[in-house]
Copies of this chain bind each other. A is one copy, B any other.
Amino acid sequence: MSQPIITLITDFGSADHYVAAMKGVILGITPRARIVDITHDVAPFAIAQGAYLLAQTYAHFPKHSIHVAVVDPGVGSERRAIALEAAGQTFIGPDNGIFSFITSREKHKARLITNEKYFHHPVSRTFHGRDIFAPSAAHLAAGASFSSLGKRIRDFVTLDLSAPQVLHTDHFGNIITNLRAADLETHASLTIAGVAITEKAENYAQMQQGKLYLIEGSSGYLEISMHQASAAGKIAAAAGMPVEIKSQPRSRKPVTKAE
């Protein structure tokens, strides 16, 4: 590909020089790389949130895209650097579970990143985004082989996201859960932070002001939303909170399961 795509997702914010330093390093190695920011506003050290946001994005990018994910509280410790091949794309980052959604969904191959020829020297103890992850991605974009990064591994860290929970609350205050519409019986409700949400909507325009609704979000997950207002603000929901599913029959007759 003439203009390889490298995306960046970090918890670095956008007020410092950190993201730009990564971009400079990439462009120094691969001047034709196209760099796309996913976001740099993952909450500091919030690995699961970064994992969710990356999971919502990568499938929209073309084959051969390289995604660099740096939410990395363990930088400088013994935590490993890893790379994945999955879904025809490559993923680069710390071995702390940030690729959990991808490895649970997609066929994948994992390797350690240990090839110091690709690193930016001297390697700092606190900024592997600049010194290890970005330059390794740039060398892949320039044509280096996946296998040249380091040895094949089959053990890597994954997050346990099986329990129903809040994955993220977005800019509009939508509360995104890890449940699918099909997980919910027709008359069941979700309970978050003690508040039960029963009403369902198909789009925001259907919603009455001031009420909470269940809606199938653009991600395919069940979300809790309000009409032009913040559901997350109303019920003080935050990433990581548990979600409870309650059967809630409308009559005393047994509820018929949705197909």
Contact call B14/A124, Cβ cutoff below 8 A: no
Contact call B203/A28, Cβ cutoff below 8 A: no
> Contacts A14-B39, A20-B37; is A62 near B203 (CB within 8 Å)?
no
A46-58 Cβ-contact flags toward B at 8 Å (1 or 0) = 0000000110111
Inter-chain contacts of A21 with B (CB < 8 A) = 56-57, 60
Q: Scan residues 29-76 of chain A and give those whose CB is less than 8 A from a CB of chain B.
A: 31-32, 34-42, 44-45, 53-54, 56-58, 60-62, 65, 73-76
* Cα distance A17–B221 in the bound complex, in angstroms: 14
Closest chain-B Cβ to A7's Cβ sits at a distance in Å of 7
Contact call B14/A76, Cβ cutoff below 8 A: no
Q: Is the interface of A mostly helix, strand, loop or mixed?
A: loop
> Which has the most chain B C-beta neighbours within 10 Å: A15, A32, A58, A131?
A15
Interface band, chain A: 35 or more
> Contacts A20-B7, A45-B228, A203-B75; is A39 near B15 (CB within 8 Å)?
yes
A11-25 Cβ-contact flags toward B at 8 Å (1 or 0) = 011111111110111
Contact call B57/A20, Cβ cutoff below 8 A: yes
Asked whether A243 is an interface residue with its Cβ less than 8 Å from the other chain, the reply is: no
Contact call A39/B62, Cβ cutoff below 8 A: no
* Cα distance A195–B61 in the bound complex, in angstroms: 49
A166-186 Cβ-contact flags toward B at 8 Å (1 or 0) = 001011100000000000000
Contact call B205/A17, Cβ cutoff below 8 A: no
Nearest-neighbor residue (CB-CB) of A20 within chain B: B38
Closest chain-B Cβ to A108's Cβ sits at a distance in Å of 19
Contact call B61/A28, Cβ cutoff below 8 A: yes
What are 21 A-to-B residue pairs whose CB atoms are below 8 Å? A1-B31, A13-B171, A14-B39, A14-B40, A15-B170, A15-B171, A16-B170, A18-B171, A18-B218, A20-B38, A20-B57, A31-B62, A75-B205, A76-B206, A77-B203, A77-B206, A78-B205, A125-B203, A126-B217, A126-B218, A127-B218
